[in-house]
Amino acid sequence: MRKLLFESFVRAPLTEPPPLPDDAELSRLTAALDRAARRRLGRSLSIRQVDAGSCNGCELEIHALNNAFYDLERFGIRFVASPRHADVLLVTGPVTKNMRDALERTYNATPGPKWVVAVGDCAFDGGCFADSYAIVGGVSEVVPVDLHIRGCPPNPLQLLTGLLALLEAEGAK
Ligand code: SF4
């Protein structure tokens, strides 16, 4: 025990260095996203996140959008607790058989115009869970998807870039 304690004092921590912050890119993206949302909707963007069966890796990146560094709410973009208040459904994970009905009901409860963004490789085609007996498949197997943000998991800047591309897309609803 004493040896273990001593080693924990002299050994370097088993962590990776954090990524260098890109404040300028973050500010540019979030301001552009806010402008695009106001142009499209006349107000800021409300997002409802739905975990349809993910490993929670994608959720960690999505939650990071609300941390002190990204602080998405300072630009008026917020996560809401009900699909009835949402413009965007941000869906993660392969859709499990148990979550299929809940995802359909969440989609139906979201007022139009609405967008569905499938986040992560699993949400695209089942990813590493594709062969599981417990899943239906990617999100588009259950509800119409407007945008896929690939990655395992995609990082917060990729999420913001994807949301911006969605709002700026030609022919968006
Ligand atoms: S894409 Fe990767 S991080 Fe996201 S739910 Fe699938 S395995 Fe987890």
CA distance 3 to 116: 54
Which 8-state DSSP code applies to residue 121? H
Which residue of 51, 152, 155, 158 sits with most ligand 1 atoms within 8 Å of its CB, as the best mutation to test the pocket? 152
Give per-residue pLDDT as tens, 60-87.
Answer: 999 999 888 888 887 778 899 999 999 9
Strand order in the sheet with 88-92: 78-79, 46-51, 88-92, 115-119, 147-149
pLDDT (tens digit, 0 to 9) for every residue of the chain, 173 residues total?
Answer: 788 888 877 877 677 666 666 677 777 777 777 787 777 777 788 999 999 999 999 999 999 998 888 888 877 788 999 999 999 999 999 999 999 999 999 999 999 889 999 999 999 999 999 989 999 999 999 999 999 999 999 999 899 888 888 877 744 45
User: Residue 116 is encoded by which pair of tokens?
Assistant: 């569905």
Strands (E), the chain: 46-51, 78-79, 88-92, 95-96, 115-119, 135-137, 147-149
Q: ω before 111 within 30° of 0 (cis)? A: no
The SS3 call for residue 9 is helix
Which residue of 92, 99, 125 sits with most ligand 1 atoms within 8 Å of its CB, as the best mutation to test the pocket? 92
The SS3 call for residue 59 is helix
- The pTM assigned to this predicted structure is 0.83
| Mean of all residue pLDDT scores within the chain | 87
- How distant, in Å, are the alpha carbons of 14, 41, 109 from that of 115? 40, 12, 13
Under 8 Å between Cβ of 156 and 125: no
